[in-house]
Amino acid sequence: MCWIPLCLAGTSLLALPHLQYAAGRSFALASAASPPAYSAQTTQAEGNLPTSSYLELRKQTLAHARLISGPRLKNPNLASGGIDRGIASALAEERADRLNRIGLTPPAAGTAALLSGHPATLLSSPESSPPTSTTRNPMIRDAASKSPSCPLPVIRAVNGRSTSPVFTPAEPDNHYRISGCAFGSTPGMVRLQPAPANPSLESITLKLDTPSSWSDDHIDVHINSALTGLPDFTADLIVQLSSGVSVRMPRCQFLAVRGDPQLLHSIPAASVRLDATTLPARAIHQVEFESPPIASGEVPPEASGASAFISRSDPREFASGKDTYDLSQLAPGWAIDSVQLRVFDAACPGENKVAVSSGSWETSWTSHGFVVAWAGETCASPIPPVFNFMLSSSQYALDVWVIGPAGTQAFPNSFVGTP
């Protein structure tokens, strides 16, 4: 038995003798209209086999395809817990400011995981990743941070960030000091007002940490930690004073609590661009995309339950190519968590016959999705007494996990990709 390298996102696996595949079921995507399935003229030109014999051998070849599972690849564009790395950095800055404020030195960058894997925790807690015990004199620090008086009320920063602060109900980051001046000594109200681009969302009221958390130059507040079912959104922070005057900080970010990663049970066709690899005179005979795939005579049973199944086949050899998946239509806050390929290796008919491979398997990431570089295989088997059987194919199943705000759907509107 011959072994060949199978490359998946930089990881080299050893593949069994090669890949084969069948017709799909949901819908076909090709660069040109697919010709009728293997006419007598086509099959005779390829190997002089009668049509019925060719179709039977083709079915057997596809039915005996062997499964090769690649590794589950995590999205490098996300920090742990499914958070965009830019947002995660902003949260880390806010946490550092809060730890400094209470007299603790935050851990140095890289000494602890930035984000926890727990669905309700965006950043690892002090208990699981204790900061260094260095303390400072709070009186000296508070005196140095006093703001000069100002004629009108103003918000200067939230947890040390003067622009685009991030608010989340997830512990332990659900603690916010709003710094400014001329807030007065009588408590008013604090809320996050969704931007006009989100007219269906209601404002979120922030609660005072204690009755004495409102002062002239700072306000300490938090969000209801049980708040779920909301997407990520941009909002204005509004501080309404007891006098009725409102102070606004625009372009704040609300970051919802994340749920567990979910397997997509279907992928919309609009998110997929299949490489329309062609032969010298025509398109590949069959290029099909199934989502969700259903096992049949030509769809391997191991493909059932995957997010999608992609198959190509033709009596003549074709070149390898790339398929592009763009899931930018995911709902706000949702992103691809991880991807796994399951390749199906062709079992050519005849004694000791192994498919000849062209190309290699590889996964690469983009800003809103990923690209699958796929390989092709060709079976060329002599069939006694004088016939030849030829079939080129490429087939793989694809599992895609997504992660996003708990209690919301991965796809907006009517398309539902998760159970």
pLDDT tens digits, one per residue of 287-342: 889 999 987 777 788 888 999 999 998 888 888 999 999 999 999 999 999 999 99
- What are the phi and psi torsion angles at 342 (to 5°)? -125, 105
Q: Are residues 144 and 246 located together in one domain of the fold? A: yes
Q: Are residues 142 and 199 located together in one domain of the fold? A: yes
| Structural domain includes residue 416 | no
Predicted confidence band at 357 (pLDDT cuts at 50, 70, 90)?
Answer: confident
| Structural domain includes residue 412 | no
Predicted confidence band at 363 (pLDDT cuts at 50, 70, 90)?
Answer: very high
The CA distance from 148 to 64, in Å, is 78
Q: Are residues 216 and 290 located together in one domain of the fold? A: no
Quote the mean pLDDT of the chain: 78
Overall domain count for the chain:
2
Q: Are residues 303 and 196 located together in one domain of the fold? A: no
CB atoms within 10 A of CB 201: 16
Q: Are residues 385 and 348 located together in one domain of the fold? A: yes
Q: Give me 350's structure tokens.
A: 């005849």
Residue 17 belongs to domain spanning: 4-76+261-403
Predicted confidence band at 397 (pLDDT cuts at 50, 70, 90)?
Answer: very high
- Residue 17, pLDDT > 50, answer no
- What's the pLDDT score for residue 126? 34
| Structural domain includes residue 181 | yes
Q: What DSSP state is assigned to residue 143?
A: H
Pair 19, 67: CB distance under 8 Å: no
| Structural domain includes residue 153 | yes
Q: Are residues 183 and 54 located together in one domain of the fold? A: no
Predicted confidence band at 106 (pLDDT cuts at 50, 70, 90)?
Answer: low
| Structural domain includes residue 417 | no
Taken in order 348, 353, 359, 365, is the CA torsion positive or negative?
positive
Q: Are residues 176 and 37 located together in one domain of the fold? A: no
Most confident of 90-94, 104-108, 292-296: 90-94
**Domain's final residue, options 233, 254, 275:** 254
Q: Are residues 72 and 93 located together in one domain of the fold? A: no
Q: Which of 27, 20, 8, 10 is nearest to 294 (CA)?
A: 27
Q: Are residues 234 and 273 located together in one domain of the fold? A: no
| Structural domain includes residue 304 | yes
Taken in order 203, 166, 177, 195, is the CA torsion positive or negative?
negative
| Structural domain includes residue 70 | yes
Integer Rg of the chain from CA: 29
| Structural domain includes residue 20 | yes
Average pLDDT over residues 78-85: 90
The CA distance from 294 to 286, in Å, is 17
Q: Are residues 248 and 142 located together in one domain of the fold? A: yes
Q: Are residues 87 and 229 located together in one domain of the fold? A: yes
Q: Are residues 143 and 277 located together in one domain of the fold? A: no
The CA distance from 397 to 269, in Å, is 15
- What's the pLDDT score for residue 296? 74
